[in-house]
Amino acid sequence: MESAILRSVNYNAYFGDNHVCKDVNISIPKNEVVAVMGPSGCGKTTFLRGINRMHELIPNATAKGQIFLNDEDVMEMHPIFVRLKIGMVFQRPNPFPNLSIYDNVIAGYKLNGIKLPKAERDRIVEHSLTRVALWKEVKDSLNKKGSFLSGGQQQRLCIARAVAMEPEVLLFDEPTSALDPISTSTVEELFHELKKNYTLIIVTHNMQQAARVSDRTAFFYMGELVEFDDTKQMFTNPRDVRTQNYITGRFS
Amino acid sequence: METPSGNKGNRLKRSQRHIKFESFFRRLLSVVGLSMIVLVIGIMITLVVQSIPSLKASGAGYLWGKTWDPVADVYGAYPFLLGTLLTSFLALLISIPFSFGVAVVLGEYYPKGWLPDLLKNTVELIAAVPSVIYGFWGLAVLVPMVRTIEVKLGYEPIGMGIFSSSLILAVMVIPYAATLGRSLIQMVPSMLKEAAYSLGATRWEVVKSVIFPYTRSGLFAGVLLSLGRALGETMAVTMVIGNTSLIPKNIFSPGNTMASVIANEFTEADHPVYLSALIELGLVLFLVTVVINMAGKKLISGFTNE
Amino acid sequence: MKDIHIKFRIGKSIFFQAFAILLSVSCVIPLVAILLYILDAGFKTIRTNGFQFLTNLPKPVGEAGGGIANALLGSIIIITVASVVAIPFGILCGIYLSENRKSRWAYWSRLCVDILQGVPSIVIGIVAYFWLVKPFGGFSAFSGSMALAIMMLPIVIRSTEETLKLLPDSLREAAYALGMPFHRVILKVIVPCGISGILSGVMLSVARIAGETAPLLFTAFGNPYVSMRLDKPMQSMPLLIFNYATSPYNDWHDLAWGASLVLLVWVLLLNILTKIIARRWKVQF
C-alpha cells in the first residue's frame, strides 16, 4: 500500500494474562477513513487505544510490538508526543465540565500550558468549530459551559477539541453509539470532510456505519485482524469465511 | 498545517519539560502517600519508646494497680481504666436510643423534606461544637443540675463526676452512630420491606424485623465509632469529671479518665517515670481506639460490599 | 378478637413511630440549650466589655475591660500555619490514594489514614510534644500547629480521595488523549472538577481544629500576652476558654463566655460555608 501513515507490526496487547490483540499487522494509508469492526470483545477498541498509547493507562495492561507513525515507532516515543500527533474521540462525549465551549476547543493548548496570542486562539477556535460544523450553532454562546450542549453537539465539540491540536491521525472509539440517529448522521457527514486533512480510524460495532463511512474496513475477531480491505470489496466479496459469517449475521 | 510551525516547536519543547516533571510528580505523590505510613508508625514508636521507663518500673501490674500516687512513685492505671470504661459505656447507654431514633426517623420514616433536613443538619452540628465549649457549658449548667439530683438521691453533692461526664459525652457522640445508621437504613432494599408489608406487617414490625436485623452489623459499627470517640474525648470530660485519682465508688463519684489524667498532669509530671506512666496511658488509649475504630471500619466495609 | 389484635398492632406501630420522633427531636434540645446559653452569656460579656473585648488583652483579675485579642490572633496564626502544611499535603495524599486504588502500598497508606482519624487528639498532643517541643527546648506555637496539622490530614485526605474517586474515567481519558502529562491531568482537570468536594473537606478540617484544645495543651501551651513568634508559646481561643473556664474568677468566666461565643460563631459559620461550597461549586456533568 502506498504512503502508509500508520503501520503496525506484530502488535500484541494484554490485560494481565488475557491476550486481547494477537499479532496485528495493518497498514493504514493517509487521508482515508478506516473502519474497524468486529463483535464485542474482539480487541478492536484495545487496538485503537494502543495506537495512541491509551491502552497502558489501564492497570495491568501491557503491549508488545511496533506501531509506526510516519516510520517513527510510537511504542518507543513518549506517550505525550504520541497523543499530540494522534487525536482521539471517545464513545461518550466527554467535554471538560468545568470549561467553557471556547476553552474546551483549545483545551489541548490551555491545559498543557501553551500560551498563544488571543488572535491565534480565536482563529483556532473558529477554525476548529467550523470544521466540525458547530461554529454557527455555538458562536454566540462560546462562554457557556460545554456540558450544556446536546449530546451530538458535545460530541462534535470533542472532535473540534481533537482537531484543534492539528493531529495527523484521528481515532474514534464508537463515536456515535451514545447519540441519537440525527446526531449520528451529522457526525458521519463530518468524516467525509475531515478526511481531507486527517487520517481517520473509526471503531464501530455497527456494520452499516462501517459500510457507509469508510474507505477501508478492518475486521477483528477473537483478537486477530482477520481481514483488511477496501470496504466495498469486503462487504461484497469477503475473502475469509469468518468475515462472511459476521457480515451475514451468522455468528451466534 | 494551519498553525504556524513555531507553535509546534514550542509545544515539543514544553512537552519535554512536562515529561521530566511528570515523573517527579508521580514520585512526589508516592512519597506523600507513604509518609502517612511513616507518620502512624512514628506515633506508635514514640509512644512505645517513651513508655519504656514506666513499663520497666511497673511492669504488667500497671494496668490493675489500684493506686496512682506520683509522690510515692506508685503508678497503677486501674482507677483511670475504670473511669474511662464507666464514662464511655454509660454515655453509650444513654446516647444509643437517641442515635437510633434519629437514624430510624431520617432513614425510614421521613427520608425527605425540609424538616428532616433540618434535623439532619442540626444533629451533624452537634459534632461541630468544640468539646471545650461542651465542657464549659457542662461546668456551668449541667454540674449544678446533677448536684441537685445528687442531693435528692442522698449522694454527696459534688456535681462533677462520672455521671456528669457521661451525660456530656452522650450528647457529643450522638451524631456518630446516628449519621452512619441513617445512611445504612436508607440502603435497605425496598424489596425486603415490601415483602414484609405484603404479609400484613405494620410499619414498626418492618422496622423491628426487617430493617434492624438487616442493618445490625452496620448499626453496631456506628456504636463502635461512638465508643472510639467517647474513649478518647479529653476536654469536656476533664472539665466536669472532678479529677481525682481515687477509684470511683459509684457513678456519681468524681474520677478521671485516661485522657483527662494526661491532660491534667502531663505538664506537671516532674520526674521521668511519672511522665512515662502518663504516656503509657496514652499508648493504651491509642491501641484501644485503633482496635475499636478498625473493627468499626471493617464492619462497615463488610456491610457496604454485600 | 382478631380485629382487636390488629388494632393493637397498629397502635403499637404508631406508638413506636411517635417514640422514635420524640427521641430524635429531643437530641436537638441539648444543642439548642447550649447555643442559647452561650448566646446569652456571650452577649452579656460583649455588652459589659464592649466590642473592644475582641481587641483588648486579658487584664488581671478585678480590672475591668479585659479582652481576648491574644487568643484570637494566636488561633488565627496557629490555624494558618497548620493549614499551610496540612492542606497541600493532604490533597496530594488524597490524589495518591485515588490514583493508586489497587496498589498494596496505597492500601497500607489508606489504613494508616483511617487509624490516624481515630487517634484521640490528646495522644497527638503527646507525640507532638516529643517531636517538636522537647527537642527544641520549649513550648511553641509551631509545635501546636503541627499537632493540629496531623489532626487535619485524615479529613482532607479522605474527602479528597472520596471526591476524586467519583469523577468519571472519561474525564481523565479526554485529558490524556490531548497529550497532557500526568501532573497536568491531575492539577488542571481532575482537581478543578472535584474542587467543591476537596474544598468542603478542607473547610471541615479547619472547623474541626479551630475548636481543638487537647493537642495544644503541651504544645502551644498558651500565653497571656500577644505573641507573633512561632517558636514561643502562643495563646489560642480554645486554650483561653479552658483556662478561664476552670479558673475560680467570675470576670474570667465572663471573658470565657465571650470567647466561647466567638469560637462557636466561627466554627458554625465554617460548617455552614462548607455546605454552601459543596452545593454551589459543584461541577455539573
- How many structural domains compose chain C? 1
Does residue B92 have a pLDDT over 90?
Answer: yes
Question: What tens digit of pLDDT does each residue of C30-89 get?
Answer: 999 999 999 999 999 888 888 888 888 877 777 777 788 999 999 999 999 999 999 999
In this prediction, residue A247 carries a pLDDT of 87
Per DSSP (E only), the strands in chain B are: 68-69, 74-75
Half-sphere exposure for C220 (CA within 13 Å, toward CB): 36
Taking Cα atoms as reference points, which of A238, B36, B174 lies closest to residue C109?
B36
**Residues near A107 by beta carbon (within 8 Å), at least 6 away in sequence:** A96, A99, A161, A164, C178
What CATH number does the domain containing C190 carry? 1.10.3720.10
Q: Do B133 and C246 touch (CB under 8 A)?
A: no
Instruction: Please name which of A8, C148, C216, C25 lies closest in space to residue B178, comparing C-alpha atoms.
Output: C25
d(CA B198, CA B185): 20
Fold that domain A4-247 belongs to in CATH = Rossmann fold (3.40.50)
Q: What is the CA radius of gyration of chain B?
A: 26
pLDDT in tens, A173-209: 999 988 899 989 999 999 988 989 999 999 998 889 9
Closest chain B residue to C265, measured at CA:
B129
**pLDDT above 70 for A2:** no
pLDDT at residue C275 tops 50: yes
Which among B1, B18, B19 has CB closest to A166?
B1
Quick check: is C144 in a domain?
Answer: yes
Query: First vs last Cα of chain A: how many Å apart?
Result: 34
Q: Which of B38, B58, B78 is the last residue of a domain?
A: B58
Number of compact structural domains in chain B: 2
**Which residue of B28, B37, B132 is in closest CB contact with C108?**
B37
Instruction: Supply the pLDDT for residue B3.
Output: 42
Q: How far is it, in rounded angstroms, from Cα B55 to Cα B51? A: 6
Query: Which triple of cell numbers denotes residue A48?
Result: 485503537
CA separation for the pair A24, A12 (Å, rounded): 7
Q: Say whether both B72 and B46 belong to one domain.
A: no
d(CA B81, CA B231): 10
Q: Which residues, in sequence order, are CB contacts of A55 under 8 Å at separation 6+? A: A13, A46, A49, A61, A63
Q: What is the C-alpha separation between B138 and B145, in angstroms, rounded? A: 9
Enumerate the residues of chain A whose CB falls inside 8 A of the CB of residue C177.
52, 54, 83, 87-88, 90, 162
Cα–Cα distance measured from residue A201 to residue B176, given in angstroms and rounded to the nearest whole number: 54
> Partners of A224 in the beta sheet?
A221
Alpha helices in B154-271 (DSSP H): 162-186, 190-198, 203-206, 212-232, 235-240, 258-265
**A116 close contact with B: CB closer than 8 A:** yes
Each residue of C112-131: pLDDT tens digit? 999 999 999 999 999 999 99
Residue C230 in any domain: the answer is yes
| B217 and B245 housed in the same domain | yes
Supply B289's cell numbers.
481506639
Tell whether ipTM is more than 0.90.
Answer: yes
User: Is A242 a residue whose pLDDT tops 60?
Assistant: yes
Q: Domain boundaries in chain A?
A: 4-247
**pLDDT of the residue at B11:** 63
Q: Do B23 and B86 have their domain in common?
A: no
Q: Are A25 and A225 in contact (CB under 8 A)?
A: yes
Strand partners, A18: A15
DSSP state of A93: -
pLDDT grade for B10, boundaries at 50, 70 and 90: low
- The domain in which residue C269 lies consists of 69-280
pLDDT above 90: percentage of residues in chain A: 63
Are B108 and B163 in a shared domain? yes
Q: Do C238 and B37 touch (CB under 8 A)?
A: no
Domain extent at residue B172: 62-305
Residues B43 and B108 in one domain: no
Based on the fold, state whether residues B23 and B79 are members of the same structural domain: no
Pick from A97, A112, A158: CB nearest C284: A97
Question: How many other C-beta atoms can be found within 10 angstroms of the C-beta atom of residue B85?
Answer: 14
Residue B45 has pLDDT above 70, yes or no: yes
Taking CB atoms and an 8 Å limit, are C109 and B37 in contact across chains? yes
